[in-house]
């Protein structure tokens, strides 16, 4: 399998995302769940059932694949070829090494999500997992329009995103931005304030419709993801962080389903496929 090769940096790179994820890849900070836990998430998203119904030679495209964690998982679970694109070359090299070591059919390349250069209507399955919120302030419509261009007329786009309806994300994303703006707190990672914020289903649906994608009826659901990632015993979380998480989980249990889980998932299809 060839190593990923860099292309011209896209719209994400100037906002610091590429450098941030290069650093995370170099530091080996990615935490992982057992593959059975990921399989449960993909099943809840409807992704595994969808793939079971597709031809075995149909590849999966993941936009913003980072180190290809989900493509590697899906290749192991289904045997399908994964195609992943990202702006972080260090992350892509990490994913390529993992896939090659396990003999899995995953191909990776550095590309701009706004202008991939890939063939129109090529993919029946496109995956965004925890990626779109990096375009909250700029570029979300463009990324979804590019996905709509790449999507086969009978294909589907699967999305899993941090939910701004979850109380902790209101605090982490919204609160950090307010604190940095009005309290002049400079220690907050710029990634929380300058280039990302959690999404909510209503906004994602509106932007997707403008891009030519409509949600599949009944596809909206919620699940825990970040909150179930294992905490490293060698690097315990600060007490204030743990206290905030416990408080937000309590608030979530007192509210509707959308408050109780830190991620939501949706499935989209081309507008012309919608009856």
Instruction: List, for residues 125-149, the tens digit of each pLDDT value.
Output: 999 999 999 999 989 999 999 999 9
Flag whether pLDDT at 257 surpasses 80: yes
Q: What is the pLDDT of residues 39-50, one digit of tens each?
A: 999 999 999 999
Q: Can you name the CATH fold of 13-273? A: Rossmann fold (3.40.50)
pLDDT of 240 over the 70 cut: yes
**Mean pLDDT score of the chain, rounded to an integer?**
85
- Please give the C-alpha separations between residue 272 and each of 58, 80, 201, 214, 275, in angstroms, as whole numbers: 21, 27, 21, 9, 8
CA–CA dist 268, 156 (Å, integer): 6
- Please give the Cα distance from 106 to 59 (Å, whole number): 9
Query: Following DSSP, what letter does each residue of 57-70 receive, concatenated?
Result: T--EEEET-TTTHH
pLDDT, residue 45, reads 97
Contact 117, 109 (CB under 8 A): no
Q: For position 234, what pLDDT does the model report? A: 53
* Confidence (pTM): 0.88
CA distance 60 to 85: 11
Q: Among residues 258, 151, 129, which one has the least CA distance to residue 213?
A: 151
Q: What is the pLDDT of residues 85-98, one digit of tens each?
A: 999 888 899 999 99
């Amino acid at each position: 399998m060839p190593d990923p090769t860099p292309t011209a940096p896209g719209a994400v790179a100037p906002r610091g995302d590429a450098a941030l994820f290069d650093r995370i890849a170099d530091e080996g900070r990615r935490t992982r769940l057992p593959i059975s836990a990921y399989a449960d998430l993909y099943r809840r998203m409807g992704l595994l059932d969808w793939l079971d119904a597709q031809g075995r030679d149909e590849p999966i495209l993941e936009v913003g694949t980072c180190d290809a964690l989900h493509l590697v998982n899906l290749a192991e679970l289904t045997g399908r070829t994964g195609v992943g694109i990202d702006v972080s070359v260090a992350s892509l090299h990490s994913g390529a090494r993992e896939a090659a070591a396990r003999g899995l059919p995953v191909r990776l390349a550095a590309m701009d999500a706004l202008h991939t250069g890939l063939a129109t209507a090529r993919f029946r399955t496109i995956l965004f997992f925890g990626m779109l919120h990096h375009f909250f302030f700029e570029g979300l419509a463009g990324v979804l329009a590019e996905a709509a261009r790449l999507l086969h007329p009978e294909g589907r786009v699967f999305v899993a995103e941090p939910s701004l309806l979850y109380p902790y994300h209101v605090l982490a994303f919204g609160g950090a931005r307010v604190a940095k703006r009005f309290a002049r707190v400079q220690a907050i990672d710029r990634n929380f304030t300058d280039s990302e914020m959690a999404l909510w289903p209503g906004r994602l649906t509106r932007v997707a419709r403008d891009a030519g994608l409509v949600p599949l009826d009944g596809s909206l659901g919620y699940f825990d993801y970040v909150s179930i990632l294992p905490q490293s015993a060698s690097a315990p979380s600060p007490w204030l962080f743990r206290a905030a998480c416990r408080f937000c989980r309590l608030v979530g249990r007192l509210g509707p389903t959308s408050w109780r889980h830190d991620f939501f998932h949706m499935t989209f299809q081309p507008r012309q496929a919608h009856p």
